[in-house]
A and B are shown apart, each in its own frame.
Chain A
Amino acid sequence: MTVAPQNHAPQNHAPQSHAPGEPVLVVEKLAIALPPGADRPYAVDRVSLTLRAGEILCIVGESGSGKSMSANAAMGLLPETVRPVGGRILLGGTDLLTLDEAELYAVRGRRIAMIFQEPMTALNPLMRIEAQIAEVFAAHGLLTPRTRRSRALELLAEVGLPDPGRAAASYPFQLSGGQRQRVMIAMALALEPQVLIADEPTTALDVTTQAQILRLIRDLQARRGMAVMFITHDFGVVAEIADRVAVMQHGRIVEEGAAADILDRPQHPYTAKLIAAIPDMEAGADHTARAAPRASVLDVEGLTKTYTLGGGLFRAPRTVAAVRDVSFTLGRGETLGIVGESGSGKSSVGRCLVRLQDPDGGRVRLGGIDMAGLSGEALRQARRRIQMVFQDPYGSLNPRVRVGRAIADGPIAYGEPVGTALTAASALLERVGLDASAADRYPHEFSGGQRQRIGIARALALKPEIIVADEAVSALDVSIQAQILDLLDELKRELHLSLLFITHDLRVAAKICDRVMVMEKGAVVEIGPGAEIFSNPREPYTRSLVAAIPGRRPRATPPEALASVSLASAPFAATPLPAAIRTPV
């Protein structure tokens, strides 16, 4: 990869080059008011930050801490109802908060650029990539149409897309998540901004892709001497990329300093708590002990699921094998983790087991019955024994049904009297750590973590033997994540449940699982005790997954570890699953 020739730089504004260490973006006592009635008066409360040339500043915090709000204020992208009420954001001596919309146009993209969490929604689905990048130049009246195109190709090459010509001619849906994020970065770099704001840019990506994107951002930052403000909730990512760190809680900066200092010697209790909440990769000794053989409750043999897509009068339908010949057993009282990247078929396995999807082949033996072959009333009866906890704490509860009733609905459907079922629901709510009075409230009155507890209570209401947790903690903040994992573990022991834990997050899997099954492209790569898989992976694919986990090792990552990562996920991988199937909602 070569350094982009400087003569292509937009000529009519000389990019002021900053000596490393010189402040580029200075936030002074920024205060952003929330509308009346919110849980606190200020989204951002007298925050001061200095972003220096040539450094990566990570802003870390949980959801609602005001970390994104601070960055959006710099770009003039605040929602209508919140407004800055004090302080300044200085970019080379100009206060960005005083600029009007027209003046902001000259700043956005050209001096400060931004990349977002979800590249699919940040790109226009109906425009080719090339045209979208060219539009950045056109919006600022730079270059001629022809040079815009060639510059777009150079940018795509610079962000490491293997076939820039093909990527340029693609529509966003034809690219993978990581490729889309590279395109977003190319667009952000187009006008050679001094400051790049990255708002959770790797949160939606797979772990190996995340490692690549982090490395790319680091490379580009070093090569161009940009200042990068990197917003994240993940201390693992911080360890990978940050020079300095600012930790935010409730709209305030509670701690700020060099990355190494904060990570190794956190001063503020909140920072310490966040760092402690990261599941660490060394699986506990008790897990190893618990990985002993035990009586099986669930036997899966040769499970197969193929999706058929499209197909019309003159077109052959396309088939995608989501699950190929998957076999495993789940022991009584065991936690089995299914890990893999998006499109690996791990969710499809879970959905086939509970029969939200019908498998095409194979057997699912649950205490002598083959779940895969049941239908109608027999299926309804068998389903009591295997229940599911869903990913989305917001989407998995009906907004118009009271919480107690939502939990009681299952037992009522199996003939339990309404009164007993509701009493049992209250008891379950207490068991999962909520107040019994929660039963009379509606889901919107609860936080994400509380809703996930309600989801767990609902799954327990039918007294199942097996619980399938499909990315059950992925949408939660780390500290809440730890609580929910502890709760699941505790309930499992107490009620002698078996847990099938589907996750993309290997750190979570390492924390909770006795055994782990690694999946890739619908097939099982490796299955074994968690400690063994993570400390001593046999298969190259598992090795690449483990190597890509952010924050596992000091920043000086051995190059060979990363090399294996970039090999592992081939660009333009053989037609990935369509998004609709890959992430069933």
Chain B
Amino acid sequence: MTAFWVRYARNRGAVAGIVILVLVLVLAMAAPALYPRSPWAMVQRPFLPPFTNGGFPLGTDTMGRDIASAVAHGAGVSLLVGFVSTLAALLIGIPIGAVAGYFGGRVDDLLMRFTEFFQSVPNFALAVVLVAIFRPSLVSIVAAIAIVSWPPVARLLRGEVMALRGREFVQAAVLSGQRSGPIILRQILPNTLSPVIVLGTMMVAAAILLESALSFMGLGDPNIMSWGYVIGAGRTVIRQAWWVSLFPGLAILLTVLALNLVGEGLNDALNPRLSRKTR
């Protein structure tokens, strides 16, 4: 485990990613304390430029709402949506991919055609349709993102499991009388962990972007302040009040960048070929 962190820390970008991510997490947790008032509350005159009023460092939007408060409260929503929807996508994708890869043949054909059905519709279009049908709410947004993002997980798992299936230790398990279920769970899945963790990190970033895009389109949960919503609301006045869209935009940029850096760092640290080279 220490060897893992030493390898991870060798990638400076990945360390920076972790730092940013922790800062965003702290911001999200501190938001109710820092800004006890609802981020929807109108607290100052509209179009207050940033850095002019000490109480409202990032200015206010078209309706006099505090942008700093919106960014802080939005952080929690973005992280929550990102992590929960990724978890849900993994829960759908891993079993489907593992079963398809392990049993092969007709089971594989069936499951993969099913997967391709989801892959053949553009992600964002499908998410928009799903949210629109189920009425925008936090749950429907998370569900929609999970539904559009599991196919790559299933594909990855199928490939990994197929490769591991032919390995001698799996054949040894078959010969020693173990049944398929335990073999998949105990012998195969633990060995697919590294690529799944890396993919998962990248998926969190993608989910945050997807949620922002939905909110930008006005398909966000109307009761929840999110970064995408603020950008969307500010887009019509971007020439007069650039700050409305800029700050939540920067927040998205930094968070997604941080997640990608972490993903890359994990990839380096978990990649056995690289680690063998440094041994």
| Chain A residues with a Cβ under 8 A of chain B | 35, 37-38, 79-81, 354, 356, 380-381, 383-384, 387-388, 390-392, 395-401, 406, 409-410, 413-414, 455, 458, 461-462, 584-585
Contact = CB atoms under 8 A, between A and B. Distances in A.
Contacts of A406: 169
Interface string B141-170: 000000000000000000000000011111
7 contacts: A37-B279, A81-B279, A356-B174, A398-B170, A398-B191, A399-B191, A455-B172
Contacts of A381: 177
A396 B178 contact: no
Nearest to A396: B168
Q: Which of A383, A400, A414 has the most B CB atoms < 10 Å from its CB? A: A400
A401 B172 contact: no
Q: Which of A79, A80, A398, A462 has the most B CB atoms < 10 Å from its CB? A: A398
B240 interface: no
Interface in B159-210: 166-179, 182, 186-187, 190-191
B90 to A, nearest CB: 19
Contact of A354 (B175, B182, B190, B279): B175
A396 B170 CA distance: 8
Contacts of A396: 168-169, 172
B277 A414 contact: no
A462 B191 contact: no
- Which secondary structure dominates where chain B touches chain A? helix
A356 B171 contact: yes
Q: Which of B169, B178, B190 has the most A CB atoms < 10 Å from its CB? A: B169
Nearest to A389: B172
Contacts of A458: 172, 176
A464 to B, nearest CB: 10
B278 interface: yes
Nearest to B279: A35
Interface string B81-100: 00000000000000000000
A380 B277 CA distance: 41
B175 A383 contact: yes
A389 B179 CA distance: 20
Nearest to A393: B168
Contacts of A354: 175
Contact of A395 (B169, B186, B279): B169
B176 A387 contact: yes
B103 to A, nearest CB: 14
Given A356-B175, A383-B177, A413-B176, 17 more contacts: A81-B277, A354-B175, A387-B175, A387-B176, A390-B171, A392-B168, A395-B167, A395-B168, A396-B172, A397-B172, A398-B187, A400-B191, A406-B169, A413-B177, A413-B179, A458-B172, A585-B166
A461 B169 CA distance: 15
B189 to A, nearest CB: 10
Interface residues on B, range: 20 to 34
- Which secondary structure dominates where chain A touches chain B? loop
A37 B170 CA distance: 32
A392 B171 CA distance: 12
Nearest to A407: B176
Given A35-B279, A81-B277, A398-B191, A388 B182 contact: no
A390 B177 contact: no
A585 B176 contact: no
Given A79-B277, A81-B278, A461 B176 contact: yes
Contacts of A80: 277
B168 A391 contact: yes
A410 B191 contact: no
B172 A390 contact: yes
A351 to B, nearest CB: 9
B126 to A, nearest CB: 33
Q: Which of A38, A354, A413 has the most B CB atoms < 10 Å from its CB? A: A413
B188 to A, nearest CB: 9
A475 B233 CA distance: 67
B171 A462 contact: no
B147 to A, nearest CB: 31
Q: Which of B166, B171, B191 has the most A CB atoms < 10 Å from its CB? A: B171
Given A395-B167, A413-B182, A585-B167, A388 B175 contact: yes
Nearest to B193: A400
A356 to B, nearest CB: 6
A462 B169 contact: no
Contacts of A409: 173, 176, 178, 186
Interface in B37-66: none
A397 B166 CA distance: 13
B208 to A, nearest CB: 31
A399 B169 CA distance: 9
Contact of B168 (A79, A390, A462): A390
Nearest to A380: B177
A585 B166 CA distance: 7
Contact of A413 (B168, B178, B279): B178
Q: Which of B172, B191, B278 has the most A CB atoms < 10 Å from its CB? A: B172
Interface string B258-279: 0000000000000000000111
Contact of B278 (A35, A383, A413, A585): A35
B178 A410 contact: yes
A414 B171 CA distance: 17
Nearest to B164: A398
A383 B173 CA distance: 11
Q: Which of A391, A409, A461, A584 has the most B CB atoms < 10 Å from its CB? A: A409
A416 to B, nearest CB: 11
A304 B60 CA distance: 81
Contacts of B277: 79-81
Nearest to A382: B177
Nearest to A38: B279
Closest 7 CB pairs of A and B: A410-B176, A396-B168, A413-B178, A398-B169, A390-B168, A400-B190, A413-B177
A530 B187 CA distance: 39
A398 B168 CA distance: 9
A584 B167 CA distance: 9
B172 A388 contact: yes
B173 to A, nearest CB: 7
A470 B204 CA distance: 45
